[in-house]
């Protein structure tokens, strides 16, 4: 079976690896993409030759990273006809936040706010019809998943990544992906009642309306309220 064409949001996964510790960066890049759902369960990775070219790493380095991810349960390898490397159908769940993560959640939120405000402003200036439709699709998916937090969270991540894609800035897309990765373990660790998710998604819908209206100031105002809302939920529900 041929490898599926990656979704636009997965393009950031396969940009060249620049770190001198190529193995660790490739491992982190692929593992984070799986955790955030940018590489969905069952997705077939591109062939080794293509992956090496796109990541600009050696085949031995790539194979080390893929082997580690197979051993950790994030990937599975299949041999023979229709074989290849696939994202596991049930990747291992995210670990509970470390003491350091719990202590540094405010810094993570500050970094996210700085990135998301720029994303909101530029998305309002640059989003095309297809980008707005993609945002609306994720809002609808979240509305349908108010009682299913894992499904809601996947759509939530895709919404924020799609908003960053609408800016047409590769650097902002990378920063937004990093911000989502930094927050996802913390967000998954706390309870999310139906009412909290409903309120959060109403803000998503308001963001889409501001982007559609080309109103950058309103988009930034709604985004500020949205990120501050996450701050209040974390402050109230994370262990002290």
Question: Can you give the residue ranges of every domain in the chain?
Answer: 8-87, 99-237
CA dist., res. 63 & res. 48, Å (int): 8
* 99-237: CATH architecture: Up-down Bundle (1.20)
Q: Which residue has the higher pLDDT, 173 or 105?
A: 173
DSSP-based three-state secondary structure for 4: coil
CA dist., res. 237 & res. 229, Å (int): 12
- Which two structure tokens, joined as six digits, stand for 159? 């919404």
CATH, range 8-87: 1.10.10.10
- Dump pLDDT digits (tens) for 96-125: 666 666 667 788 889 999 999 999 999 999
CA dist., res. 146 & res. 144, Å (int): 6
- Dump pLDDT digits (tens) for 38-70: 888 999 999 999 989 988 888 988 888 888 888
Alpha helix locations (H) across the chain?
22-36, 48-55, 59-71, 99-103, 105-126, 129-143, 149-165, 170-189, 194-212, 216-237
Mean pLDDT of the chain: 84
- Which two structure tokens, joined as six digits, stand for 5? 């064409």
0.75 exceeded by pTM: no
Contact 218, 203 (CB under 8 A): no
Residue of 147, 145, 142, 110 whose CA lies nearest to 207: 142
């Amino acid at each position: 079976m041929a490898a599926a064409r990656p979704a636009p949001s997965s393009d950031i996964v396969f940009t060249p690896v620049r770190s001198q510790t190529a193995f660790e960066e490739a491992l982190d890049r692929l593992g984070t993409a799986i955790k955030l759902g940018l590489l969905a369960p069952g997705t077939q990775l591109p062939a080794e030759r293509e992956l090496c070219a796109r990541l600009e790493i050696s085949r031995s380095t790539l194979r080390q990273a893929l082997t580690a991810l197979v051993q950790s349960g994030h990937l599975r390898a299949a041999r023979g006809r229709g074989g290849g490397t696939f994202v596991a159908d049930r990747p291992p769940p995210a670990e509970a936040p470390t003491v350091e993560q719990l202590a540094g959640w405010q810094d993570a939120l500050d970094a996210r706010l700085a990135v998301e405000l720029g994303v909101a402003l530029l998305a309002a200036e640059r989003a095309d019809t297809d980008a707005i439709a993609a945002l609306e699709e994720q809002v609808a998916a979240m509305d349908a998943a108010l009682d299913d937090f894992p499904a809601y969270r996947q759509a939530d991540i895709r919404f924020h990544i799609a908003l960053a894609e609408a800016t047409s800035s590769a650097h902002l897309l990378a920063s937004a992906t990093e911000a989502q990765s930094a927050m996802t373990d913390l967000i998954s660790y706390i309870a999310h009642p139906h009412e909290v998710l409903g309120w959060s998604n109403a803000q998503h819908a308001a963001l889409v309306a501001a982007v559609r209206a080309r109103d950058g100031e309103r988009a930034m105002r709604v985004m500020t309220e949205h990120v501050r809302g996450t701050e209040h939920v974390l402050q109230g529900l994370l262990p002290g």
